[in-house]
Amino acid sequence: MEGFLPWQWCILWYAISLPVIIYGIIRIMKVADELPESKPLLAVSGAFIFILSSLKMPSVTGSCSHPTGNGLGAILFGPWITTVMAAIVLIFQALLLAHGGLTTLGANTFSMGIIGPIFAWLTYKGSIKLNLPISIAVFLAAFLGDIMTYVTTSFQLALAFPTPNLIAAASKFMLIFAYTQVPLGVAEGLLTIVVFENILKLKPDITEKLNLLIRKPTSTR
Amino acid sequence: MNISTDFYAHHNKLNRIPPMVKLSWGILTMLFSLLSPSPIIPIIVAVVMSFIIVLIAGIPSRYYLKFISVPFTFGFLTLVLMALFFGVKPSSVGFYWFRVYLDGLHTGFLAFSRIIGGFTCLAFLSLTTPVNEIFKQLEKIKMPRIIIEIALLMYRMIFIFLEEASTMYNAQETRLGYNSIRSSIKSLGLLASNLFIRSWLQGERVYQAMETRCYNGEIPTMKIHETDNKWIILVIAFEITLIIGVYFTRTIKII
């Protein structure tokens, strides 16, 4: 929420998020150099994340619950590109729908664009390694990505308003989010399974292109 | 979901002011409202910005109130929750087992005033400056062109998506697709995956069409802007007044 975080925290979260965003931008520049047609695809996926995460549910205390869409983004593109996408999506949400805000952009990018996707991506990769069925891997990734986003947000809020102390404040914020976010996370997990399986079933070539998107820059190194 | 913000951003009376001026005005004012340790400056900012948006930029007040109502409600809920749960100094005011905390009320009110101050600045930006002009300004701070390009393509896609999504949603709803929780998840999943696939294909087609028409990463548009100087002076004067205001009100408490 605009204006909710004191300015010191805004600066801190910007400082933490910025290097990751810059790294993501470098990745995107490399990919776009090699495959110019990836640009519209990135744009489409970004717009898709925007639509998903605009389904805002009323929650309280200076933030709000909504599906993050970052599970899908992280599975499809890997965490770094998703970070840049999430940052752009958050700017659009602030400007178009008065969700989030510009001063809190750093903090929001950190929770929704960095921690969420990283956890989603690690969960996905880990579950695949453990030979779990792909639908369960996708569900866990989307669910955990979602939950971790809000755990991070709770800590961010608690760090800014540590009354009576950090842990107590964080658990209070988490409790408030939990009412809306756990069911929402489950719903997003299920939704992501359906989306993912449909994409695999109907347009398997998309995922091949996506694999190219992720692997190209690493193979040239 | 209805995005008429875009419409007003293109049709308002401040359209001819250079976007850089509007951008720096909005963001600087937002920063000073956030920096202020007293709730007075954020409230003054909220009043001044609302005045500019409705009376000078000519945004219909009904639309403006609707746009600002959601953040205001959140701000108010924050105030209530902070007062009831986040504090250590209980006051005599309360009901049942709830007690209003004095320090909670104080931080809550400060947060509330900063939220309304920040959001009116944000509303000023988004209702008077089109998104593509804002992103073009980012080029001046060395944002790589490719990112701006992707962002603007994304912006275009959002509107295409919304239209397709609402068509699909209506089609599903008339066929009882959202009858129960189970079918809702299935329908929403079908909608989302179809939307992804369709817009993916559309994205590829749009790009091919643009490539064949000499697209080189930029969509040139013509824009007539008034000369800068008087606006720049106005912005500087306003922000200096604001800094002085922040300094002199720093110890004043309302609640």
SS3 assignment for chain A: CCCCCCHHHHHHHHHHHHHHHHHHHHHHHHHHHHCCCHHHHHHHHHHHHHHHHCCCECCCCCCCECCCCHHHHHHHHCHHHHHHHHHHHHHHHHHHHCCCCCCCHHHHHHHHHHHHHHHHHHHHHHHHHCCCCHHHHHHHHHHHHHHHHHHHHHHHHHHHCCCCCHHHHHHHHHHHHHHHHHHHHHHHHHHHHHHHHHHHHHCHHHHHHHHHHHHHHHHCC
CA pair distance A186, B75, nearest whole angstrom: 28
What DSSP state is assigned to residue B93?
E
Residues B60-65 have a mean pLDDT of: 87
pLDDT at B164 over 50: yes
Tell me the average confidence (pLDDT) per consecutive run of 10 residues in chain A, 221 residues long: 76 89 88 76 80 59 60 81 88 80 85 88 88 85 86 84 76 78 79 78 69 48 35
Same domain, B43 and B111: yes
CA–CA distance, B69 with B65 (Å, rounded to integer): 6
Q: How far apart are CA A1 and CA A65, in angstroms?
A: 12
Q: Do A161 and B82 touch (CB under 8 A)?
A: yes
Question: B108 and B62 in one domain?
Answer: yes
In a domain, B139, yes or no: no
Radius of gyration of chain B (CA): 23
DSSP A130-143: TT--HHHHHHHHHH
CB B254 within 8 A of CB B109: yes
Candidates B169, B120, B123; CA nearest to A51 is B169
Task: Please report which helix (H) or strand (E) contains residue A26, including its range.
Answer: helix A7-34
- Residue B9 in domain: yes
Look up the domain containing B60 and give its range.
5-133+226-248
Q: Would you say residue B111 lies in a domain?
A: yes
What the block records as the tokens of B147 is 């990112």
Are B13 and B54 a contacting pair, CB within 8 Å?
no
To the nearest 10°, report the CA torsion of B84, B40, B246, B244. Answer: -170
Can you read off the two tokens belonging to residue B143? Answer: 């944002």
Residues 125-164 of chain B with CB under 8 A from chain A are 125-126, 131, 134, 144, 146-147, 149-151, 153-158, 160-162
**Average pLDDT of the residues of chain B:** 81
Helix (H/G/I), strand (E/B), else coil: A97? helix
Do B86 and B182 sit in the same domain of this protein?
no
Percent of chain B at pLDDT > 70 equals 89
**pLDDT, position A82:** 87
- Cα(A41)–Cα(A28) distance, rounded to whole angstroms? 12
- The nearest alpha carbon in chain A to B79 belongs to A61
Q: What is the mean pLDDT of residues B226-233?
A: 77
- The pLDDT of B69-84, averaged and rounded, is 81
Distance, in Å, from the CA atom of A42 to the CA atom of A25, rounded to the nearest integer, reads: 12
- Nearest Cα of chain A lies from the Cα of B20 at a distance, in angstroms, of 16
Question: Can you list the positions of beta strands (E) in chain B?
Answer: 90-95, 98-101
Is B253 a domain residue? no
ipTM associated with this complex: 0.80
Q: pLDDT tens across B166-224, in order? A: 888 888 888 887 777 778 777 877 887 788 788 778 777 887 888 888 877 666 766 66
| pLDDT bracket for residue B106 (50, 70, 90) | confident
CATH 1.10.1760.20 fits A7-219, yes or no: yes
B118 and B242 both lie in a single domain: yes
Residue B26 inside a domain? The answer is yes
Count other C-beta atoms under 10 Å from residue B230's C-beta.
Answer: 11
The Cα A63–Cα A169 span in angstroms is 15
CA dihedral A137, A29, A41, A46 (to 10 degrees): 70
Q: Do the domain assignments include residue B217? A: no
Identify which of A3, A43, A47 has the shortest CB distance to residue B118: A3
User: Would the CB atoms of B5 and A62 count as touching at under 8 Å?
Assistant: no
Residue at B45 is within a domain: yes
pLDDT recorded at residue A218: 42
Neighbours of A63 (CB within 10 A): 25
The pLDDT tens digits for B110-161 are 888 888 888 898 888 888 888 888 888 887 777 788 888 888 888 888 888 8
| Domain-wise residue ranges, chain A | 7-219
Are B186 and B108 contained in the same domain?
Answer: no
pLDDT at A216: 43
The torsion angles phi and psi of A187, rounded to 5 degrees, stand at -60, -40
Token representation of residue A153? 């947000």
Does residue B102 sit in the same domain as residue B162? no
Helices (H) then strands (E): counts for chain A: 9, 0
Distance CA B14, CA B234 (A): 14
- Tell which wins on pLDDT, B233 or A65: B233
Interface of A with B in 151-190 (CB under 8 A): 161, 163-164, 169, 172, 176, 187, 190
| Residue that wins the pLDDT comparison between B85 and B126 | B126
- Count how many domains chain B has: 2
Cβ-defined contact of B189 to A198 (cutoff 8 Å): yes
Judge whether B226 and B18 are in contact, CB under 8 Å: yes
Tell whether B180 and B55 lie within a shared domain.
no
**Can you give the pLDDT at residue A194?**
79
What is the torsional sign of CA A139, A142, A146, A148?
Answer: positive
| A61-75, B2-16, B78-92, B145-159: least confident range | A61-75
Same domain, B113 and B51: yes
Name the residue with higher pLDDT: A40 or B30.
B30
Amino acid at B76: F
Q: Which residues pair with B99 in a beta bridge?
A: B94
